[in-house]
């Protein structure tokens, strides 16, 4: 968003139990014409990846199921050290909301990877919200008591983004500019970051959004 | 779901214990108190005062009984708040009124004409039914204080009557407190039992539903597994060429079917999703890659609403050429379900002979057609709003 030329590429570490996924990610990173990401470490185990150069990563991309074991409960602890982007085959709303609540910056399902991977990681590194259609779905489907209050337009933008995942079409349907669509969706995401369990990355995202003028402090109190 | 199981036995227990207490209080008041009033008529200073007191106690007895047997025994706090002081006033009035010409130690206190202080306890049990036991204890103590004060004021309080009164208070109060406390405990116990029963039933129902869903999922997994195995075997043996567009289409379709199966998390069978999945399967047989995603929990819907919700989406799915995205958004408050399909379908096919109108409404379902982007395809939304 906004920042097209960053001083240095974002350092990213990737954990996934499938080598084919790691290969795919490497090719996405290499294929990015702007070279926005630099892969500092990848591997199949969280601790192995983080014991080496992975320690210095800005963003940790984490598959939530490693060798059949869920690592959802480690997101909170990892999110203290890194911006965590979850990259998972799990599309369940409960999982997405739990990971978000624990302090993950973004959520990508495996089939959203090709389209959103680079942008999601770049946004996470800058503490900016990035909402994939699956994340929009989890926010829409939230009926929990801790659900933040979204405005009518924010909710509508989320819904349309989930239904027809093309921002141009959302903008056309709502009769607003593309940037405004992004604003509505991002604002909804920031409200989520401000709600629920406090976490470092969530606070950083809210602070960044206030700095960017995306939300006013009183909107997220 | 829980209401019928929990409330029925609890209501029965509460009602039967209440009826027991009412019978005791009413019988005592009718037989003991009325006899005392009638036989002592000529001994009262003012018989009218005693008769009025008897009437007041009768009225409170009936009101207490009605409140106990009516809906929500604790719904009317004014009854104990007004009733208990009235009862105390009756105790004092009859006490002061009946002492006149009965000689001997303790005679005035324990004569049948002085019936009100003894009837107090059971009437208080009725008025304070299901209110905290401490309230009843306080009321019984207040009655004792009023009796002693009246006896002292009227010069009837000697050591014999004092000791006899204490014994009587002790004996009756313990029975009354036991009945009231026992009733509360019984109701609480039966409530707990009923709740446990309801939980068990709910668990059983959930398990049954989960079993059904599991069996259905296994069935579909076997079907998909067969297709995937054939595809993989074909690719491995070189029989199928990965560069062939049709083979790529088949791979895309099987991948989306597998993905959908893995993505299913609902453990209760949802007929709406089941129907949409079935339509997706049909489209996939024509090599259309279908994504089906749901946000929120689909509420139970009448069959007409479901049909109205799925009809237009089915047309678009049927007309899709290579890909379709089906989404279901369910909101709880206010209740709303929206089924949306975006597909690269020909506009004419997608109408499915629906005529010229761009939207329609049936069974509270509003259907909106539009084209997605510039000639890219069709988009249909069917939205139901509950009230």
The domains of chain B are located at 3-200, 269-385
- Class level of CATH domain B269-385: alpha beta
Cis omega before residue B302 (within 30°)?
A: no
Question: Under a CB-based contact definition with an 8 Å cutoff, are residues B57 and B91 in contact?
Answer: no
Min Cα distance B228 → chain A (Å) is 18
Q: Which residue of A163, A174, A188 is the best one to mutate when testing the B interface, meaning the one whose CB has the most B CBs within 10 A?
A: A163
Provide block-wise average pLDDT over 10 residues at a time, chain B (387 residues): 50 79 91 86 84 92 86 68 90 77 58 84 88 90 89 80 85 88 82 86 85 81 86 90 83 74 65 84 84 88 86 84 91 89 72 45 81 72 88
Residue A130, CA distances (Å) to A86, A185, A193, A199, B189 in order:
12, 9, 12, 17, 53
Residues B128 and B111: their CA atoms lie apart, in Å, by: 28
Confirm or reject contact between A173 and chain B (CB < 8 A): yes
Min Cα distance A40 → chain B (Å) is 30
- Which residues have a Cβ under 8 Å from the Cβ of A65 and sit 6 or more positions away? A17, A71, A88, A89, A90
Q: Give the side-chain half-sphere CA count within 13 A for B301.
A: 31
CB contact under 8 A, A89 and B333: no
CB contact under 8 A, A94 and B265: yes
Q: How crowded is residue A68: how many other Cβ atoms within 10 Å of its Cβ?
A: 6
Average pLDDT of chain A, as a whole number: 90
CB contact under 8 A, B325 and A164: yes
CB contact under 8 A, B373 and A137: no
Greater confidence, A11 or B2?
A: A11
Nearest CA in chain B to A156: B329
Residue among A94, A134, A169 whose CB faces B372 most closely: A169
Q: Which residues pair with A15 in a beta bridge?
A: A43, A62
* Confidence at residue B74, expressed as pLDDT on a 0 to 100 scale: 58
Q: How crowded is residue B59: how many other Cβ atoms within 10 Å of its Cβ?
A: 12
Strand stretches in chain B, DSSP E: 289-295, 320-331, 336-345, 359-362, 365-372, 377-385
Q: Which residues pair with A42 in a beta bridge?
A: A14
* Residue among B284, B291, B341 nearest B313 (CA): B341
pLDDT digits (tens, 9 = 90+) for B199-239: 898 888 888 878 887 887 788 788 888 888 998 999 999 99
Q: What angle do CA B381, B386, B387 make, to 5 degrees?
A: 140
Confirm or reject contact between B330 and chain A (CB < 8 A): yes
Min Cα distance A108 → chain B (Å) is 14
B220: exposed, middle or buried (C-beta count within 10 Å: 0-12, 13-18, 19+)? middle
Residues B289 and A33: their CA atoms lie apart, in Å, by: 29
Q: Tokens at residue B10, please?
A: 């609890």
Residue among A92, A159, A164 whose CB faces B265 most closely: A92
Nearest CA in chain A to B334: A143
* Confidence at residue A71, expressed as pLDDT on a 0 to 100 scale: 92
Q: Read off the pLDDT of each residue in A162-171 and give the average, rounded to a whole number.
A: 89
Residues B142 and A185: their CA atoms lie apart, in Å, by: 67
User: Does the pLDDT of residue A2 top 50, yes or no?
Assistant: no
Confirm or reject contact between A166 and chain B (CB < 8 A): yes
Q: Which residues of chain A lie closer than 8 angstroms to B332, CB-CB?
A: 143
CB contact under 8 A, B372 and A163: no
| Residue B299 DSSP one-character state | P
- How does residue A190 score in pLDDT terms, banded at 50, 70 and 90? very high
* SS3 readout for chain A: CCCCCCCCCEEEEEECCCHHHHHHHHHHHHHCCCCCEEEEEEECCHHHHHHCHHHHCCEEEECCEECCEECHHHHHHHHHHCEEEEEECCCCHHHHHHHHHCCCCEEEEHHHHHHHHHHHHHHHHCCCCCCCHHHHHHHHCCCCCCCCCCCHHHHHHHHHHHHCCCHHHHHHHHCCCHHHHHHHHHHHHHHHHHCCCCCHHHHHHHHHHHHCCCCCHHHHC
* Confidence at residue B347, expressed as pLDDT on a 0 to 100 scale: 58
* Confidence at residue A199, expressed as pLDDT on a 0 to 100 scale: 84
B79: exposed, middle or buried (C-beta count within 10 Å: 0-12, 13-18, 19+)? buried
Q: Which residues of chain A lie closer than 8 angstroms to B273, CB-CB?
A: none
The domains of chain A are located at 8-126, 131-221
Q: Tokens at residue B113, please?
A: 């004409």
Residues B351 and B353: their CA atoms lie apart, in Å, by: 5
Residues A107 and A132: their CA atoms lie apart, in Å, by: 7
Greater confidence, B252 or A148?
A: A148
| Pairing mode of beta strands A69-70, A65-66 | antiparallel
Q: List the 94-133 stretch of B: residues with Cβ below 8 A of A.
A: none
Confirm or reject contact between A172 and chain B (CB < 8 A): yes
Confirm or reject contact between A70 and chain B (CB < 8 A): no
* Phi, psi (deg, nearest 5) at residue B344: -85, 70
Longest Cα–Cα distance of chain A, Å, equals: 50
Question: Under a CB-based contact definition with an 8 Å cutoff, are residues A189 and A131 in contact?
Answer: yes
CA atoms B173, B179, B184, B188: torsion sign: positive
pLDDT digits (tens, 9 = 90+) for A97-125: 999 989 999 999 988 888 899 999 999 99
Of A43-52, A153-162, B273-282, B372-381, minimum mean pLDDT range = B372-381
* Confidence at residue B159, expressed as pLDDT on a 0 to 100 scale: 83
Residues B309 and B383: their CA atoms lie apart, in Å, by: 7
Residue B89, CA distances (Å) to B45, B81, B97, B111 in order:
17, 13, 12, 19
Topology classification of domain A8-126: Rossmann fold (3.40.50)
CB contact under 8 A, A163 and B330: no
Buried b or exposed e, range B92-126, using 16+ CB within 10 angstroms:
bbbbbbbbeebeeebebbbbbbbbbbbbbbbbbbb
The complex scores an ipTM of 0.87
Angle between helices A178-194 and A152-163 (to 10 degrees): 110
Q: Which residues pair with B337 in a beta bridge?
A: B330, B384
CA atoms B42, B45, B51, B57: torsion sign: negative
Residue among A141, A166, A168 whose CB faces B295 most closely: A141
DSSP string, B347-387: HHHHHTT--S-SEEEETTEEEEEEEETTTTEEEEEEEEE--
Greater confidence, A7 or A158?
A: A158
3-state class of B103 per DSSP? coil
Q: Give the side-chain half-sphere CA count within 13 A for A81.
A: 15
């Amino acid at each position: 968003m906004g920042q097209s030329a960053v001083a240095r590429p974002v350092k990213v570490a990737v954990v996934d139990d499938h080598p084919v996924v790691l290969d795919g990610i490497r090719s996405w990173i290499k294929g990015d014409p702007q070279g926005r990401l630099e892969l500092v470490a990848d591997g199949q185990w969280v601790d192995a990846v983080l014991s080496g150069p992975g320690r210095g990563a800005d963003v940790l991309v984490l598959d939530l199921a490693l060798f059949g074991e869920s690592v959802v409960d480690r997101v909170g602890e990892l999110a203290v050290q890194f911006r965590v982007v979850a990259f998972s085959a799990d599309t369940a709303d409960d999982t997405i909301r739990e990971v978000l609540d624990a302090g993950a910056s973004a959520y990508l399902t495996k089939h959203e990877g090709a389209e959103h991977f680079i942008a999601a990681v770049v946004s996470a590194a800058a503490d900016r919200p990035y909402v994939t259609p699956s994340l929009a779905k989890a926010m829409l489907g939230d009926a929990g008591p801790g659900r933040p209050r979204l405005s009518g337009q924010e909710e509508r933008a989320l819904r349309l983004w989930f239904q027809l995942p093309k921002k141009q079409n959302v903008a056309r349907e709502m009769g607003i500019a593309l940037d405004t669509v992004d604003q509505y969706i991002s604002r909804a995401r920031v409200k989520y970051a401000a709600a629920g369990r406090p976490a470092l990355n969530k606070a950083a995202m809210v602070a960044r959004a206030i700095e960017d003028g995306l939300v006013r402090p009183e909107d997220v109190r | 779901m829980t209401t019928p199981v929990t409330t029925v036995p609890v209501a029965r227990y509460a009602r039967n214990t209440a009826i027991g207490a009412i019978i005791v209080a009413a019988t005592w008041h009718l037989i003991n108190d009325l006899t005392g009033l009638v036989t002592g008529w000529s001994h009262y200073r003012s018989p009218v005062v005693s008769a009025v007191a008897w009437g007041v106690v009768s009225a409170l007895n009936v009101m207490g009984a009605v409140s106990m047997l009516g809906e929500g025994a604790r719904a009317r706090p004014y009854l104990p708040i007004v009733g208990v002081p009235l009862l105390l006033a009756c105790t004092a009035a009859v006490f002061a009124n009946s002492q006149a010409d009965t000689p001997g130690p303790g005679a005035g206190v324990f004569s049948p004409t002085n019936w009100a202080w003894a009837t107090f306890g059971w009437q208080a049990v009725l008025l304070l039914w299901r209110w905290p036991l401490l309230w009843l204890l306080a009321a019984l103590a207040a009655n004792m204080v009023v009796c002693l004060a009246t006896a002292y004021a009227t010069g009837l309080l000697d050591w014999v009557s004092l000791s006899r009164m204490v014994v009587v208070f002790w004996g009756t109060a313990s029975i009354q407190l036991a009945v009231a406390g026992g009733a509360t405990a019984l109701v609480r116990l039966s409530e707990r039992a009923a709740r446990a029963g309801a939980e068990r039933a709910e668990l059983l129902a959930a398990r049954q539903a989960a079993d059904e869903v599991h069996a259905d999922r296994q069935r579909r997994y076997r079907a998909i597994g067969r297709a995937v195995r054939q595809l993989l075997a074909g690719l491995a043996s070189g029989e199928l060429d990965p560069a062939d567009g049709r083979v790529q289409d088949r791979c895309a379709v099987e991948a989306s079917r597998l993905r959908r199966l893995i993505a299913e998390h609902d453990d209760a069978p949802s007929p709406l999703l089941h129907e949409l999945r079935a339509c997706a399967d049909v489209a996939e047989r024509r090599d259309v890659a279908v994504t089906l995603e749901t946000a929120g929990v689909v509420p139970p819907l009448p069959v007409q609403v479901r049909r109205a919700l799925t009809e237009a989406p089915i047309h678009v799915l049927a007309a899709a050429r290579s890909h379709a995205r089906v989404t279901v958004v369910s909101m709880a408050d206010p209740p709303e379900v929206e089924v949306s399909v975006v597909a690269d379908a020909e506009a004419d096919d997608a109408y499915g002979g629906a005529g010229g109108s761009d939207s329609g409404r049936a069974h509270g379902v509003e259907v909106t057609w539009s084209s997605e982007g510039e000639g890219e395809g069709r988009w249909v939304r069917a939205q139901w709003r509950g009230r």
